[in-house]
Chain A
Amino acid sequence: MKRKAKGIKNQTTIQNFITYAIVIAFWVFIQIWSKAGQMTSLLNGLLVPICTYVILAVSLNLTVGILGELSLGHAGFMCVGAFSGAFFTKAMAGAIPSVGIRFAIALLVGAAVAALFGFLIGIPVLRLTGDYLAIVTLAFGEIIKNLINVLYVGKDSRGLHLSMKDVASLNLEPEGEVIIKGAQGITGTPKASTFTIGILLVLLALFIILNLVNSRTGRAIMAIRDNRIAAESVGINITKYKLLAFTVSASIAGVAGVLYSHNLSSLAATPKNFGYNMSIMILVFVVLGGIGNIRGSIIAAVILTALPELLRGLNNYRMLIYAIVLIAMMLFNSAPKAIEMRERLMEKVKGKGKGAA
């Protein structure tokens, strides 16, 4: 019995190492690829976004796959992380001259602020279940985007000034600087995000999530997902573990946001980058990669981020193809008839193998 338990443990360790190895192999491959001079500027520009989306997909999988709650507001946490991180980097430009150190602290700030939002939003949201929870997370995501669009923050010698109206109402001193300019957002963030940093963050996110999933806490979270009432009856604190998973997921999304914001010179909250469309896109990665399957999320995020860009030659047809591929994949993967057909095919192949032997 003891040996068996050890065996299972070793197996998960091996599985986790394979996941890390895939990510590292991807990094090595890209390094070789670019040394060989094969990288186009298009692909180069995709590297940091790919890391961002991988982190987002992995973190959303914690909420959707492990906790089992459908969240449609993940982009909101990314938005919070992006703005708090970029704000920190800009505001501290005088105090900490090194961009690297500022970026490192900004990552922590982004994670912390997103975690705080995740916690505060989680308290009311996690009381609901199913589609109601989904629509409320969507609502929170939209509220966050909306509020950031009317937020003005400036800095002068007297400290920070905040307004929800316009630049003039900040009452800045003449030499003061406006950092967050409402709908225009934050401009002039240093471009500190690199592919290597991105990969390191992906590994960090994976490390946190995989360890969480394989811990006592992770098992408690999955027990809640599988049967809430049964979990409660064996003494698992539902609220605590749900909130924990939601907060960790939000905080990692915040880190992805910081990575995202330091890859752009101007950051604004538009429906395209932080609206529900983005949340849905991340959800598509998670579902196509396999709900609860962390490795699948990574692969799906990489492929689906690269796919529309690689299809760019097809111009207007690329999003159309993307949509058709998405529907076809879902039908092939999830339709009961398709699953049955696949199983029959597998059996045939297996049967043939046996016959030959």
Chain B
Amino acid sequence: MSFLSYFINGISLGSIYAIIALGYTMVYGIAKMLNFAHGDIIMVGAFATFTVVSTNGGNPIVGILAAVLVCTVLGVTIERVAYRPLRGASPLAVLITAIGVSYLLQNVALLIFGSNSKQFTSVVNIPALKLADGQLSISGVTMVTIASCIVIMIVLTTFINKTKMGQAMLAVSEDKGAATLMGIDVNRTIAVTFAIGSALAAIAGVLLCSAYPSLTPYTGSMPGIKAFVAAVFGGIGSIPGAMIGGIILGVIENLSKAYISSQLSDAIVFSVLIIVLLVRPTGILGKTIHEKV
């Protein structure tokens, strides 16, 4: 029974990674950049909810909406100010700028909220589900996290396959030049991608802090890196890949914490990533790239 409980918690943690990884992978697929500041948007989202719910006693739903709104605006602004001028510059320059943005967000949060860890009030008030005569208990947050992950996955896939904007995204990720010639507004498409990615990061931030309720300006950075690993793991640029990658990563992390060593769980996660990439150099669902001479 304890195995099952670790496993379900792993899926829940993995769902959070998956939601973050979706943002990473979409931005990478379309703008071809590693958005290192993505992890810090999670933190901003969590702080937005924290301000509304924990400090001012607001309604959790208002808190989540506030987080989504703040992060969406923030994501689009960052893209407009810092990343758009660098389109066409070397990928490394964009990467360093993203790192600069990450430092900026962390330090602004540090100035506003201080470095002390804040106690986050969970936005989920559903009682835990008791199964098998109370031997297996699944907390409300866990259920909500897994459910939201599934919903997000379905909505996102539908959005990409059924709407005009989604198709535009696919086109831009395939070939920017050709997409422009077809009359697609590349800048707008990229902005929308950032908006969606940041909104997802906000949701992930709220879920993450509801499950692990301590919040500091650096809360987002490690989950951000792990989600990045998850995105690469599943094949960066692939949406189902980010989902699978995130969940596998969460399960491995939780099981190795429970059965091997809590100190080594990160090392185990990263080792699995290395092994996967050595066997499949573009991740589980990544496209194989043929080299042309």
List A residues at the B interface (Cβ < 8 Å): 64, 70, 124, 127-128, 131-132, 134-136, 138-140, 142-143, 146-147, 149-150, 183, 229, 276-277, 280, 283-284, 287-288, 291, 316-317, 319-320, 322-324, 326-327, 330-331, 333-338
**Contacts A131-B34, A132-B282, A320-B108: A283 and B96 contacting too (C-beta < 8 A)?**
yes
CB proximity of A139 to chain B, nearest CB, Å: 4
Tell me which residues across on chain A come within 8 A of B104, comparing CB atoms. Answer: 320, 323-324, 327
**Beyond A139-B274, A142-B266, is A334–B90 a contact (Cβ under 8 Å)?**
yes
Q: Which residues does chain B contribute within 8 Å of A131, judged by CB atoms?
A: 28, 34, 232, 236
A320 near B86: Cβ-Cβ < 8 Å: no
CA distance A324 to B111 in the complex (A): 15
Contact present for A150 and B264 (CB under 8 Å): yes
Which residue of A is nearest B281, CB measured?
A128
Chain B residues with CB below 8 A from A143, complex form: 266-267, 270-271
23 pairs of residues in contact across A and B, judged by CB atoms under 8 Å: A127-B281, A128-B277, A131-B34, A132-B232, A132-B236, A134-B34, A135-B229, A139-B229, A140-B270, A143-B270, A146-B267, A150-B261, A150-B263, A280-B36, A291-B90, A320-B111, A322-B103, A326-B97, A327-B100, A330-B96, A331-B82, A331-B85, A331-B86
Q: Which of B63-103 contact A (CB under 8 A)?
A: 82, 85-90, 92-93, 95-97, 99-101, 103
Query: Could you tell me if B103 and A326 are in contact, using CB atoms closer than 8 angstroms?
Result: yes
Q: Does B182 contact A (CB under 8 A)?
A: no
Asked if residues A142 and B85 are in contact (CB atoms below 8 Å), the reply is: no
Q: Is the CB of A330 within 8 A of B107?
A: no
- Which residues from chain A contact B232 at a C-beta distance below 8 Å? 131-132, 135
With an 8 A cutoff between CB atoms, is B228 at the interface?
Answer: yes
Residues of B within 8 Å of A320, CB to CB, are: 104, 107-108, 111
Known: A136-B273, A327-B101, A331-B85. A316 touches B93 (CB 8 A): no
Contact of B85 among A134, A326, A335 (CB under 8 A): A335
> Is there a chain A Cβ closer than 8 Å to B133's Cβ?
no
Q: Are B261 and A142 in contact (CB under 8 A)?
A: no
Q: A136 touching B97 by the CB < 8 A rule?
A: no
Within the complex, the shortest CB–CB distance from B191 to chain A, in Å, comes to 17
Interface contact B277-A132, CB-CB below 8 Å = yes
Given A283-B95, A291-B90; 6 other pairs, CB 8 A cutoff: A131-B34, A132-B236, A135-B228, A317-B111, A331-B82, A338-B85
- Measured CB to CB, the nearest residue on chain B to A335 is B85
CB distance from A307 to the nearest CB of B (A): 13
> Nearest chain-A residue to B293 (Cβ)?
A229
Contacting pair A336 B96 (CB below 8 A): no
| A135 in contact with B273 (CB, 8 Å) | yes
What is the chain A residue whose CB lies nearest that of B114? A316
- Report B272 CB to chain A, min CB distance, Å: 9
Complexed CA–CA distance, A327 and B98 (Å): 8
Which B residues are CB-close (under 8 A) to A335? 85-86, 89
Within 8 A of A (CB), among B100-120: 100-101, 103-104, 106-108, 110-111
- Chain B residues lying within 8 Å of A146, measured Cβ to Cβ, are 263-264, 266-267, 270
- Interface residues, chain B, with chain A CB atoms under 8 Å away: 28, 34, 36, 82, 85-90, 92-93, 95-97, 99-101, 103-104, 106-108, 110-111, 221, 225, 228-229, 232, 236, 261, 263-264, 266-267, 270-271, 273-274, 277-278, 281-283, 291, 293
A326 to B100, CA, bound (A): 6
Residues in A neighbouring B236, C-beta threshold 8 A: 131-132
User: Which secondary structure dominates chain A's binding surface?
Assistant: helix
CA of A327 to CA of B36 in the docked complex: distance in angstroms? 13
6 residue pairs, one from A and one from B, having the closest CB atoms: A334-B93, A139-B270, A323-B103, A326-B100, A146-B267, A323-B104
Minimal Cβ-Cβ distance residue in B for A325: B100
**Shortest Cβ distance from A286 into chain B, in angstroms?**
9
Question: What's the Cα separation between A316 and B106 when bound, in Å?
Answer: 12
Bound CA–CA A139/B228 (angstroms): 11
- Shortest beta-carbon distance from A206 to chain B in Å: 22
Min CB gap A20→B, angstroms: 27
**Inter-chain contacts of A327 with B (CB < 8 A):** 82, 97, 100-101, 104
Find out whether the CB atom of B111 lies under 8 angstroms from the CB atom of A287: no
Distance between Cα atoms of A80 and B266 in the complex (Å): 18
CA distance A284 to B93 in the complex (A): 9
- Residue with the highest number of chain B CB atoms closer than 10 Å, among A135, A140, A276, A319: A135
Contact A138 B89 (CB under 8 A): no
Q: How far is the CB of A102 from chain B (nearest CB, A)?
A: 31
The closest CB in chain A to the CB of B231 belongs to A135
Shortest Cβ distance from residue A319 to the other chain B in the assembled complex, whole angstroms: 5
| Known interface pairs A147-B267, A229-B291; A124-B278 also in contact (CB < 8 Å) | yes
Which one, A140, A291, A319, A331, contacts B92 given CB within 8 A? A291
Contacts of A283 in B (CB 8 A): 95-96, 99
- Distance in Å from the Cβ of A190 to the closest Cβ of chain B? 29
Q: Return chain B residues, CB-CB under 8 Å to A326.
A: 96-97, 99-100, 103
B100 engages A323 (CB within 8 Å)? yes
Minimal beta-carbon separation of A287 from chain B (angstroms) = 5
Q: A124 touching B107 by the CB < 8 A rule?
A: no
Pick from B100, B101, B110: contact of A316, CB below 8 A: B110
Q: Smallest Cβ distance from A92 to chain B, in angstroms?
A: 29
CA distance A1 to B95 in the complex (A): 42
- Point out the residues of chain A lying under 8 angstroms from B103, CB to CB: 319, 322-323, 326
**Contact assessment for A140 and B274 in the assembled complex, using a CB-CB cutoff below 8 Å:** yes
Q: Find out whether the CB atom of B93 lies under 8 angstroms from the CB atom of A330.
A: yes
- When the two chains form the complex, which single residue of A150, A229, A324, A336 contacts B88, counting CB atoms closer than 8 Å? A336
B274 touches A124 (CB 8 A): yes
Residues of B with C-beta under 8 A to A331: 82, 85-86, 97
Q: Check A319–B96 contact: CB distance below 8 A.
A: no
Q: Which residues of A contact B291 (CB under 8 A)?
A: 229
Closest-by-CB residue of A relative to B96 is A287
With CB as the reference atom, state the residue of chain A lying closest to B226.
A142
Residue of B97, B101, B229, B264 ringed by the most chain A CB atoms within 10 A: B97
